[in-house]
């Protein structure tokens, strides 16, 4: 079987061999990158760093010179060369189409990754983020810190249910309150919002 492949490959024109090598190698590396990305192991994408004012940095940590961009260029270049090599009679036109397709593949993937980067969000919640916010009493809050009730406070679009106490009188369920202080990692000091 290997001999049949070797015979077929050696019978191809040189540019067709280049296209096939780029297409197969690029596709294999692309599949490996895809699997690693799906497993969450793609954080160490290698960037080529060119110091100077004329780099191709696209902003937001995205650069045109990355392993991912090179692999996508090879996939686009190789497969378009394979496909158009038999359809287009001019070798120069085939190379131009392959290069343009490779650049387009690289740009599209970088564009999509830059958009996905914007979707990243740290949803870590710190109780101190509640200070100054208003909320609603969920379970009544006993007077003069004699016990704890619960409040629902919205922080960055997420509603959190947190233990709360007050220095004043008892606060009934459903009352609108303002968070004055984070007493500790589990409890807020609140006052009625009307105060």
CA distance 97 to 57: 25
Residue 69, pLDDT score: 85
User: pTM score > 0.75 for this model?
Assistant: no
Mean pLDDT value of segment 77-88? 92
With a cut of 70, say whether residue 168 has pLDDT above it: yes
Reference 195, options 175, 184, 182; nearest CA is 175
CA gap 36, 152 in Å, rounded = 39
| pLDDT at 116 (0 to 100) | 77
pLDDT of residue 68: 83
- The count of other CB atoms within 10 Å of the CB of residue 109 is 19
Using the predicted structure, report yes or no on whether residue 56 has a pLDDT greater than 50.
Answer: no
Q: What is the pLDDT of residue 157?
A: 84
Please give the pLDDT value at position 63: 58
Stronger pLDDT, 149 or 42, i.e. the higher one: 149
Average of per-residue pLDDT across 148-173: 93
Is residue 75's pLDDT more than 70? yes
Percentage of residues in the chain having pLDDT higher than 70: 86
pLDDT in tens, 114-160: 787 777 656 678 899 999 999 999 999 999 999 999 999 999 888 99
Mean pLDDT of the chain: 85
CB 21 within 8 A of CB 9: no
Determine the average pLDDT of the residues in 82-92: 90
Distance between CA atoms of residues 120 and 128, nearest Å: 22
């Amino acid at each position: 079987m290997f001999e049949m492949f070797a015979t077929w490959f050696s019978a191809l024109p040189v540019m067709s061999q280049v296209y096939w090598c780029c297409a197969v190698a690029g596709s294999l590396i692309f599949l490996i990158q895809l699997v690693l990305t799906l497993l969450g192991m793609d954080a160490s994408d290698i960037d080529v760093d060119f110091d100077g004012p004329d780099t191709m940095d696209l902003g937001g940590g995205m650069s045109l010179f990355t392993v991912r961009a090179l692999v996508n260029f090879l996939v686009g270049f190789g497969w378009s060369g394979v496909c158009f090599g038999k359809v287009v009679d001019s070798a120069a036109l085939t190379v131009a189409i392959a290069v343009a397709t490779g650049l387009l593949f690289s740009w599209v993937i970088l564009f999509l990754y830059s958009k996905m980067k914007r979707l990243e969000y740290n949803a870590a919640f710190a109780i101190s983020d509640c200070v100054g916010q208003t909320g609603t009493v969920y379970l009544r809050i006993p007077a003069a810190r004699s016990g704890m009730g619960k409040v629902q406070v919205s922080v960055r679009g997420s509603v959190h249910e947190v233990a709360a106490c007050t220095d004043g009188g008892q606060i009934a369920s459903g009352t609108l309150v303002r968070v004055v202080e984070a007493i500790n990692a589990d409890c807020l000091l609140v006052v009625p919002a009307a105060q």
